[in-house]
């Protein structure tokens, strides 16, 4: 059993200070399991809107919810968007007898209704699949290969994991999206999703996918934005520094779950993965996603110029500028591109993530750190030497 105590603590803290807390994320990422640790599923305070009994109880929502005390959970809330005005009324009571934890897929309906009806009352806690910190460093390869969705990662065999991911994609396209009000044909969105998998780690330009799919550029952008809103795809936008250099303005595209990426690319085994031409891009996307989970930055971008200088991640955290470069190499060295990024972006620190086991310093404010350091969840492990390195001391250490 993978423990998610830090997420549970985060939700409890949010409930202590906010009248309504929204736990949002893709289907099957563990929202319901987490909520049932706060309110048991057999409690009168638990409503699952995929359960006919719960739907019947909420036929008159004010009557059903007004007398409840403590934490009230409403699962799959996007199925009843009419509940949001009711929650606004209940959340404005003084004194406040109950707080509400609402769960749902990150749908346009959910986000629009919550922003309109619960402005100033709602705190959002995003949830994804298992992180490397949750599964442990010894499971890094398995986690990268299978992804973080609980039922994919915890499957008894690789064949079972593949079967689950295949079924998930089919169900997501054919059942979940129509329930969210999406009218795009499933085959069209599947083709777009598969094409995005082949663009994984690259800069996005809608023109070529539009020609390949036989649709207009605005249509393919709509598909892209929809998959982003549903937490399937990440659009990493470029940072535009105030420089005289010509800078890249197109976003990069990454599939957020490495297991779904491998499924869409036809990667079935670890041997297939290491032999596949997208292996490096897959590893880069996995490292970036795990870095964002570990650091939880205030803002995140990539940076690139048309002359070739590039930085994989530019993170803003507590008013600091932190750079992350991902290198799938045995012993990364300091490159001209890193020097340019360090100087032009005025980075407080630059970390180079690689698949090795040793930490070492490349230059002042530049350290090479194993990807496994993300499993600690410690900022000091990811950015070990934030100031000037000490002269005359061996800065090479082994990750324990």
The rounded distance, in Å, linking the Cα atoms of 142 and 98 is 41
Give the pTM: 0.90
Q: Classify 213 as helix, strand or coil.
A: helix
- List domains and CATH numbers for the chain: 5-126 (3.40.50.300), 132-398 (no CATH)
Check if the beta carbon of residue 146 is closer than 8 Å to that of residue 47. no
The rounded distance, in Å, linking the Cα atoms of 160 and 153 is 10
Q: What's the confidence (pLDDT) of residue 400?
A: 33
Check if the beta carbon of residue 135 is closer than 8 Å to that of residue 153. yes
Q: Packing angle between helix 108-117 and helix 83-91, nearest 10 degrees?
A: 30
The rounded distance, in Å, linking the Cα atoms of 257 and 280 is 15
Q: What's the confidence (pLDDT) of residue 307?
A: 84
| Nearest in space to 171 (alpha carbons), one of 155, 156, 151, 153 | 151
For 278, half-sphere exposure in the C-beta direction (CA atoms, 13 angstrom radius) is 22
| Cis previous bond, 95, omega within 30 | yes
Q: What's the confidence (pLDDT) of residue 387?
A: 45
The rounded distance, in Å, linking the Cα atoms of 113 and 128 is 22
∠ Cα 82 106 45 (to 5°): 55
| Nearest in space to 221 (alpha carbons), one of 198, 251, 247 | 251
CA distance to 99, 306, 320, 340, per residue, from 243 (Å): 48, 12, 19, 12
Q: What is the mean pLDDT of each run of 10 residues along the chain (400 residues)?
A: 87 95 92 95 94 93 95 90 90 94 73 70 91 94 97 96 97 88 89 95 91 91 91 93 74 97 96 96 97 94 90 94 95 94 94 95 94 84 60 35
Check if the beta carbon of residue 76 is closer than 8 Å to that of residue 110. no
């Amino acid at each position: 059993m993978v423990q998610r105590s830090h997420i549970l603590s985060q939700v409890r803290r949010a409930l202590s200070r906010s009248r309504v807390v929204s736990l949002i994320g893709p289907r099957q990422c563990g929202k319901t399991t987490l909520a049932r640790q706060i309110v048991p599923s057999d409690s009168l305070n638990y409503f699952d809107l995929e359960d006919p009994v719960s739907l019947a109880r909420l036929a008159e929502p004010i009557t059903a919810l007004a007398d409840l005390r403590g934490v009230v959970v409403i699962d799959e809330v996007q199925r009843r968007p009419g509940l949001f005005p009711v929650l606004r009324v209940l959340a404005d009571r003084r004194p406040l007898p109950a707080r509400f934890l609402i769960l749902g897929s990150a749908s346009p309906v959910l986000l629009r209704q919550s922003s309109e009806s619960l402005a100033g009352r709602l705190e959002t806690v995003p949830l994804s699949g298992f992180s490397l910190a949750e599964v442990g460093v010894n499971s890094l390869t398995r986690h990268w290969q299978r992804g973080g969705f609980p039922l994919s990662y915890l499957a008894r065999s690789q064949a079972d994991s593949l079967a689950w991911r295949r079924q998930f994609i089919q169900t997501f396209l054919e059942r979940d999206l129509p329930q969210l009000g999406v009218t795009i044909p499933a085959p069209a969105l599947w083709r777009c999703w598969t094409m995005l998998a082949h663009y994984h780690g690259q800069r996005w330009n809608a023109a070529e996918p539009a020609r390949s799919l036989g649709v207009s550029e605005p249509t393919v952008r709509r598909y892209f934005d929809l998959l982003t809103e549903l937490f399937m795809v990440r659009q990493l936008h470029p940072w535009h520094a105030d420089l005289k250099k010509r800078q890249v303005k197109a976003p990069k595209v990454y599939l957020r779950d490495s297991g779904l990426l491998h499924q869409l690319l036809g990667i079935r085994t670890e041997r297939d993965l290491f032999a596949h031409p997208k292996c490096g891009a897959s590893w880069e996307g996995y490292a970036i996603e795990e870095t964002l989970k570990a650091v939880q930055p205030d803002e995140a971008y990539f940076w690139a110029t048309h002359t070739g200088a590039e930085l994989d991640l530019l993170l803003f955290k507590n008013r600091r500028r932190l750079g992350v470069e991902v290198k799938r190499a045995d012993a990364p060295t300091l490159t001209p591109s890193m020097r340019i990024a360090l100087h032009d972006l005025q980075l407080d620190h630059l970390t180079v993530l690689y698949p090795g086991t040793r930490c070492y310093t490349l230059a002042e404010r530049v350290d090479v750190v194993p990807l496994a350091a993300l499993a600690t969840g410690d900022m000091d492990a990811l950015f070990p030497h934030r100031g000037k390195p000490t002269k005359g001391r061996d800065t090479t250490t082994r990750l324990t």
